[in-house]
Amino acid sequence: MQDVQRMANQIIDNVERVIVGKRAEVSLALVSLICRGHVLIEDVPGVGKTMLAKAIARSIGCEFKRIQFTPDLLPSDVTGISVFNQQTRQFEFRPGPIITQIVLTDEINRATPKTQSALLEAMEEHQVTVDGVTYPMPDPFLVLATQNPIEYEGTFPLPEAQLDRFLVRLSIGYPSAANEIAVLDAQQHTHPIESLQQVLGVEELLAAQKRVRDVHLDQALKEYIVSVVTATRKHPDIYLGASPRGSLALYRTAQARAAIQGREYAIPDDIKALAIPTLAHRMIISPAARLKNVNPSQVVQEVLDTIPVPGSRVRARA
């Protein structure tokens, strides 16, 4: 896995020229890309959500498009539309911006549920169907969606089916004082994104996506994953726990994290590091727990603290 580790470090180092001091968050986005998964970036305005998507696309040389979600956006504005050509007397398909390699759906929760649902087929099956005709997505295909967690006026909460299709949810957060000063210095004349160069080819990325599937997970680790996910379904504060898609997400991201670190095998630390990003957004808190300000991340952390890690010794109670 040394080739995957070297490739990952090249991309992360390059993206960090734009997103300063957020190596863990950039690495998590790259884990999702290597797993062919989609990313939900939930954070306040101005912390670099859009720049993260652009920087990843430029680093790999992928085609990049941006969709600004608004309440009046129609599903056809996303997927495309068939237009009648008067010269040929036939309908011609004009593809929408979703048909690209890396697409940024900015402020996804501002669109109506009908428009949000236009993404479901593309995200799950890597295709769109318009007027009964199916059009495949290019490879690789990645959706990076952003939403503002503190602004509720004029927004539509993402349905559970939509959230479940995001492999991970991450938050960039504010930079430290030193990193914020570095951002000011870097943008004195021009934005670093303008001079960002491609460091990897698409073919190399596709090869890495296949390579990470060879990362080994011991049977005990698989049982650990299932135990964690099952515990979210039985937790008293949870109305709806993580689905089997959550188990698979945790399995795939553990493989990718191990490969990025140059390992041929996953370890329990991979599971513990990725449990909250892959599971928390798939869970629904019960009404009673919501009144106590319980959030899904707290529940996942509680589950991790409760379930014994494979290979660890359980202390006998005195």
Residue 142 shares a structural domain with residue 5 = yes
User: Residue 317 pLDDT more than 50?
Assistant: no
For residues 193 and 18, the answer to whether their CB atoms sit within 8 Å is yes
- How buried is residue 149: exposed, middle or buried, by Cβ count under 10 Å (0-12/13-18/19+)? exposed
Tokens of 232: 């979210």
CATH number, domain of 262, equals 1.10.8.80
For residue 295, give the nearest of 7, 36, 42, 1 by alpha carbon: 42
| Residue 288 is assigned to a structural domain of this protein | yes
For residues 45 and 61, the answer to whether their CB atoms sit within 8 Å is no
Q: How far apart are alpha carbons 100 and 304 in whole angstroms? A: 38
Residue 146 shares a structural domain with residue 235 = no
At residue 219, φ and ψ (nearest 5 deg) are -55, -35
DSSP state of 70: -
- Determine the structural domain holding residue 39 and report its residue range: 1-69+101-108+137-213
Question: 3-state DSSP helix/strand/coil percent for the chain, to nearest 5?
Answer: 50, 15, 35
| Residue 80 is assigned to a structural domain of this protein | no
**Strand-strand pairing, 64-68 and 102-106:** parallel
For residue 30, give the nearest of 189, 151, 205 by alpha carbon: 205
| Residue 265 is assigned to a structural domain of this protein | yes
User: Residue 93 pLDDT more than 60?
Assistant: yes
Q: Which among 213, 246, 280 is the end of a domain?
A: 213
Q: What is the pLDDT of residue 195?
A: 86
User: Residue 206 pLDDT more than 60?
Assistant: yes
CATH number, domain of 153, equals 3.40.50.300
Q: How far apart are the first and last CA of the chain?
A: 45
Q: How confident is residue 91, by pLDDT bands cut at 50, 70 and 90?
A: confident
Q: Which among 213, 238, 254 is the end of a domain?
A: 213
| Residue 291 is assigned to a structural domain of this protein | yes
Residue 158 shares a structural domain with residue 286 = no
Per DSSP, helices labelled H in the chain are: 2-15, 23-34, 49-60, 75-79, 113-116, 120-125, 160-163, 177-186, 202-211, 219-234, 244-260, 268-279, 287-291, 296-306
What is the total count of domains within the chain?
Answer: 2
Q: Which among 179, 213, 247 is the end of a domain?
A: 213
| Residue 177 is assigned to a structural domain of this protein | yes
Residue 64 shares a structural domain with residue 11 = yes
Residue 48 shares a structural domain with residue 160 = yes
Average pLDDT along the chain: 88
Residue 220 shares a structural domain with residue 248 = yes
| Residue 119 is assigned to a structural domain of this protein | no
Residue 220 shares a structural domain with residue 208 = no
Residue 231 shares a structural domain with residue 276 = yes
Q: What is the pLDDT of residue 152?
A: 63
By three-state DSSP, how is residue 211 classified? helix
Residue 62 shares a structural domain with residue 191 = yes
| Residue 273 is assigned to a structural domain of this protein | yes
Q: How far apart are alpha carbons 73 and 77 in whole angstroms? A: 6
For residues 163 and 281, the answer to whether their CB atoms sit within 8 Å is yes
By three-state DSSP, how is residue 255 classified? helix
Tokens of 58: 């430029």
Residue 222 shares a structural domain with residue 267 = yes
By three-state DSSP, how is residue 196 classified? coil
Residue 183 shares a structural domain with residue 259 = no
Q: What is the pLDDT of residue 313?
A: 46
Residue 191 shares a structural domain with residue 233 = no
User: Residue 1 pLDDT more than 80?
Assistant: no
User: Residue 4 pLDDT more than 90?
Assistant: no
Q: What is the pLDDT of residue 316?
A: 38
For residue 107, give the nearest of 57, 53, 33 by alpha carbon: 53
| Residue 162 is assigned to a structural domain of this protein | yes
Mean pLDDT of 251-274: 93
For residue 69, give the nearest of 33, 118, 125 by alpha carbon: 118
Mean pLDDT of 48-60: 88
Bond before 140 cis per omega within 30 degrees: yes
